[in-house]
């Protein structure tokens, strides 16, 4: 089943059941406290929190998302993309737990001939919040799930909040059992590789206060209006339905992976380390394509830096695959062809996107060439001197003068069997930040318009804590 078909079935199913079909919002979130749209619920936050009256009782969407927090997982797990699509259904004071559970189960387990996704009941497990007896009962009553496949989990896993006083509530998740060759028995509480998380149902039910941590707060009452917020990972469903091994092999991503393999002359599936690199390229190129289509350009701060990092990691991965020359024109074209059917703007914006990508590639290839020489010299010096680490000063010069991100230095040093004196590096970085602050202060006293600075602060300091992964969204910088 193609990804486009999953999307079509999703929107038809919820559309037929009274949900307004809302187009995906931009990856660049409207919410000033968020760098990117990190979940399907983001565009609905004002309605879910009651700040703005909702124009509909029920809505559904297939939302483009970026989660930079998952960047290190990409290519190593089967299921984490920096870009992915979250399919959501939302109720604003309309149906609640019973409705949400009924819809999710029906869509997943109805036969393909009946417009469903055709999952076998016996392959699905669910988790509920440990105190949510109501959900525990409803999964049995509404969906017929036996208690042997329902697991209770604590607040860490199954309680949603914004991290602040306000609306919160238990959640309940649906997992797919990929089979005994992928891990031990025992359900999602035991193993999250074999048991693949597909869908999270959030029951916004309570008001919380005195929030001391994500798991330590007081439940102070029921919400006057109870809401439903769900998110199903479309790529995860696609990878199961397409019978492939992971989300990087689905129809919307695989063509880029194949092109990377072709350009490198290496075979996907022949070497586990190369395989991760090919998956990283496939993921990052797609994420970069989608970000640039939504108007982000490579730069040194905030969103632009995340994009730059994705582009550079792709270039670096291609180099490690043995490709020395520019490959973005080929890789981005492959990604464009795979994504444009679902997002026509990818094609109409493509010439602009490609020119941004290729000029970044050109300049980073130059950076790599210059920086690699410095690094090689420092590495042989350290090795000759019998040291186990590369000095922090070199790491800092590489960062500051040659634009080498520290993770790149770490990675390249590690390939040479060396660590890096990160403490020294961090202290040089903090000295530099202090100098920059002083400079900014000076400038501010000279220039009246500080709006650019204010905007920067806003993005940098407050982050919405909707889902676990939203925390410190900017920390990967």
Binding site for ligand ATP (CB under 6 A): 67, 70, 79-81, 84, 86, 197-200, 231-233, 235-236, 467-469
Least distance in Å: CB of 175 to ligand ATP?
9
Least distance in Å: CB of 38 to ligand ATP?
8
Least distance in Å: CB of 197 to ligand ATP?
4
Binding partner of residue 67 among ligand ATP, Mg ion, none, CB cut-off 5 to 8 Å per kind: ligand ATP
Q: Shortest Cβ contact with Mg ion: which residue?
A: 200
Q: How many residues bind Mg ion (CB under 5 A)?
A: 3
Segment interacting with Mg ion, rule: CB under 5 A, options 11-19, 398-406, 428-436, 467-475: 467-475
In this complex, which beta carbon is closest to ligand ATP, that of residue 2 or of residue 469?
469
Cβ-based neighbours of 98, under 8 Å, separated by 6 or more:
138, 142
Interface characters, 152-191, with Mg ion (x: CB under 5 A): ----------------------------------------
Report phi then psi at 106, rounded to 5.
-65, -45
In this complex, which beta carbon is closest to ligand ATP, that of residue 186 or of residue 329?
186
Beta pairing class for 150-153 and 159-161: unpaired
| Residue 328 to residue 334: CA distance in whole angstroms | 10
| Residue 223 to residue 165: CA distance in whole angstroms | 12
User: Which runs of consecutive H residues, i.e. helices, occur in 70-110?
Assistant: 97-109
In this complex, which beta carbon is closest to ligand ATP, that of residue 198 or of residue 398?
198
Least distance in Å: CB of 418 to ligand ATP?
31
| Contact between 391 and Mg ion per CB under 5 A | no
Binding partner of residue 233 among ligand ATP, Mg ion, none, CB cut-off 5 to 8 Å per kind: ligand ATP
Is the separation of the CB atoms in 194 and 183 below 8 Å? yes
| Touching Mg ion, residues 188-227 (CB under 5 A) | 197, 200
Q: Is the Cα torsion angle 178, 72, 422, 323 positive or negative in sign?
A: positive
- DSSP code per residue over 211-263: --SSS--EEEEEEEEEEEEEEEEHHHHHHHHTT-SSGGGSTTTHHHHHHHHHH
Least distance in Å: CB of 24 to ligand ATP?
14
Is the separation of the CB atoms in 176 and 196 below 8 Å? yes
CA–centroid distance for 63 within its chain: 12
Least distance in Å: CB of 70 to ligand ATP?
4
- Core vs surface per residue 375-407: b (16+ CB within 10 A) or e: beebbeebeeeeeeebbbebbbbbbeebbbbbe
Q: Which residues bind Mg ion (CB under 5 A)?
A: 197, 200, 469
């Amino acid at each position: 089943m193609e990804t486009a078909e999953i999307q079509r079935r999703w929107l038809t199913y919820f559309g037929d059941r009274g949900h307004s079909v809302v187009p995906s919002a931009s990856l660049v979130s409207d919410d000033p406290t968020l760098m990117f749209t990190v979940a399907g619920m983001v565009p609905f936050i004002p309605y879910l929190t009651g700040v703005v009256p909702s124009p509909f009782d029920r809505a559904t969407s297939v939302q483009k998302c970026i989660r930079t927090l998952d960047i290190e997982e990409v290519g190593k797990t089967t299921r984490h993309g920096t870009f992915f699509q979250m399919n959501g259904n939302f109720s604003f004071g309309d149906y609640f737990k019973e409705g949400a559970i009924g819809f999710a189960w029906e869509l997943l387990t109805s036969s393909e001939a009946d417009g469903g996704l055709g999952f076998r009941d016996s392959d699905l497990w669910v988790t509920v919040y440990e105190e949510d007896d109501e959900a525990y009962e409803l999964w049995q009553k509404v969906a017929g799930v036996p208690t042997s496949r329902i697991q209770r989990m604590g607040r860490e896993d199954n309680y949603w909040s914004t991290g602040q006083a306000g609306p919160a509530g238990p959640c309940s998740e649906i997992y797919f059992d990929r089979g005994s060759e992928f891990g031990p028995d025992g359900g999602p509480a035991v193993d999250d590789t074999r048991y693949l998380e597909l869908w999270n149902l959030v029951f916004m039910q309570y008001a919380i206060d005195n929030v001391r941590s994500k798991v330590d707060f007081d439940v102070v009452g029921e919400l006057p209006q109870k809401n439903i917020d769900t998110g199903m990972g479309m790529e995860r469903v696609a990878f199961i339905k397409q019978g492939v091994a992971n989300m990087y092999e689905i129809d919307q991503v695989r063509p880029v992976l194949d092109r990377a393999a072709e350009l490198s002359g290496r075979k996907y599936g022949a070497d586990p380390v190369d395989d991760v690199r090919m998956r990283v390229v496939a993921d990052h190129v797609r994420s970069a394509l989608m970000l640039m289509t939504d108007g982000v350009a490579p730069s040194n701060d905030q969103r632009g830096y995340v994009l730059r990092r994705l582009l550079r990691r792709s270039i670096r991965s291609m180099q490690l695959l043995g490709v020395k020359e520019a490959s973005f024109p080929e890789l981005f074209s492959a990604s464009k062809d795979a994504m444009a059917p679902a997002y026509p703007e990818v094609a109409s914006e493509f010439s602009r996107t490609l020119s941004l990508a290729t000029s970044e590639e050109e300049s980073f290839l130059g950076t790599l060439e210059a920086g690699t020489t410095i690094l090689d010299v420092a590495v042989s010096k350290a090795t000759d001197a019998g040291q186990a680490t590369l000095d922090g000063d070199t790491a800092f010069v590489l960062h500051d003068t040659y634009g080498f991100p520290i993770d790149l230095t770490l990675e390249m040093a590690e390939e040479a069997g060396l660590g890096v004196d990160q403490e020294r590096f961090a202290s040089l970085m903090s000295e530099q930040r202090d100098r920059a602050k002083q400079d900014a202060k000076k400038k501010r006293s000279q220039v009246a318009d500080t709006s650019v600075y204010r905007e920067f602060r806003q993005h940098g300091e407050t982050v919405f804590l909707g889902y676990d992964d939203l925390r410190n969204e900017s920390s990967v910088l």
